[in-house]
Amino acid sequence: MTAIAIDPALVETMIMEIGAIGAHSGTGVWRTVYSPEWVAANDLYARWAQEAGLGVSRDAVGNVWGRLEGSDGGKSIVSGSHVDTQCPGGRYDGTLGALSALIALKALRAQFGQPKRTLEAVSLCEEEGSRFPTANFWGSRAITGAIQQGDADNTRDFEGMTIADAMREVGLDPARIPTAQREDIESFVELHIEQGPILEHADLPVAIVSAITGLRHYRVKLSGEQNHAGAFPMDLRQDPVAGFLEIGSGVINTAHRLGRPAVTTIGRVDVNPNGAAVVPCEVHFTIDVRHPDPEKGQELYRLHEQLMQEVAARRGLEIEWDIGIEKAPCLSDPELVSIFRRAAGEQEVPTLTMASGAGHDTQQMARIARTVMIFVRSEKGRSHTPEEFSTIPDIVAGIQVLAAGLHELAY
């Protein structure tokens, strides 16, 4: 097919204009769900959708939809992402995907007219959980019917306000949340910055995402015996820190040996008592384990648990753990991966295929639709920071791939 024309100046103008809403820390953005800044950003998104010739609507949780009606009816093909940010975050995480969907539909309408299949762009709400820490994916969960009765009244921000009251403050009725559910979406495509260094290391602008990683988050307690650091011999100690150090090193090295994309992170450690001259009695720590392949992920979990049990037994320690978070890998639809790889080739955009190590709204949308993601290179792999940055040429390349794939699906 012919090259899809994406205006770089328009892309940059839209990024900077919406990025000014909630601007913080120089190049950063602080824009939490249902805040005045979030409302203003979505009002701007709705205006841009209307100016692009799309039908505009908002659902019960505040997701903003721009619709390009298809001539043949049927289920919609949807693209978009979220406009809420970390505190502070950057201009690109989430927001770029929402804008890219809008820009792609605008370009397709201008170049090819009405599609056969209905196309929609969406600005989703509260992916980050930066205001309401247990409300992650609020917008996409509403679309997929995953918000349970009572969730709105039981979900609170850091000041104690419920998300139900925050919705009421911006004119939304929590009782209507079930009406946001959609059963007419056939495919969901999310463009997003990579948030990691793989594309930069490969010197490529765009990736097609084959899977979103599965993860398991362990909360571990190792118990030993508290004693004097000088008077108690090494061979008689039941030292939980010694056990922790062996376990921590072991699980991280296991992920190293398995290689990419396996990752394991020790993110938090709490020693009790935390004294310089004391053999501690307890160590509490977390282990974050991720892999996008279901079978290899289970093997990684098994190896970690086997090591923890072996070290504790050998050192005379008691060990307990629970699993705070567990998510199965979300595999992209193989046909969609092929379509968007082919679309990249047609637009002469070099790509690679990779897994996502971070979670996204796409995981929720996979409950009701075929899904795939497109990544755009992040400078130095930075994200969740005001310093995150992607170049306009890379972004334009990503939008061209998005638009070309949507063209194949809808036209």
Contact between residue 402 and residue 101 where contact means Cβ atoms under 8 Å apart: yes
Question: If you average pLDDT over residues 303-310, what whole number do you get?
Answer: 98
Does position 286 have pLDDT exceeding 90, yes or no?
Answer: yes
Residue 1: the pLDDT is 72
Question: If you average pLDDT over residues 133-147, what whole number do you get?
Answer: 95
Residue 241: the pLDDT is 98
CA distance 390 to 166: 32
Query: At the fourth CATH level, which superfamily is domain 8-212+329-410?
Result: Zn peptidases (3.40.630.10)
Question: If you average pLDDT over residues 378-391, what whole number do you get?
Answer: 96
Domain ranges of the chain: 8-212+329-410, 214-327
CA distance 66 to 98: 10
Question: If you average pLDDT over residues 150-165, what whole number do you get?
Answer: 96
Please report, for residues 116, 279, 311, the alpha-carbon distance to residue 238 in angstroms, rounded to integers and kept in the order given.
70, 9, 12
Question: If you average pLDDT over residues 189-206, what whole number do you get?
Answer: 97
CA distance 164 to 214: 30
Q: Could you tell me the fold of the domain covering 214-327?
A: Alpha-Beta Plaits (3.30.70)
Residue 2: the pLDDT is 82
Question: If you average pLDDT over residues 300-318, what whole number do you get?
Answer: 98
Segment holding 402, helix H or strand E: helix 392-410
pLDDT digits (tens, 9 = 90+) for 81-120: 999 999 999 999 999 999 999 999 999 999 999 999 999 9
Question: If you average pLDDT over residues 132-138, what whole number do you get?
Answer: 93
CA distance 104 to 79: 9
Q: How many CB atoms lie within 10 A of CB 290?
A: 25
CA distance 120 to 69: 8
pLDDT digits (tens, 9 = 90+) for 217-254: 999 999 999 999 999 999 999 999 999 999 999 999 99
* pTM confidence score: 0.93
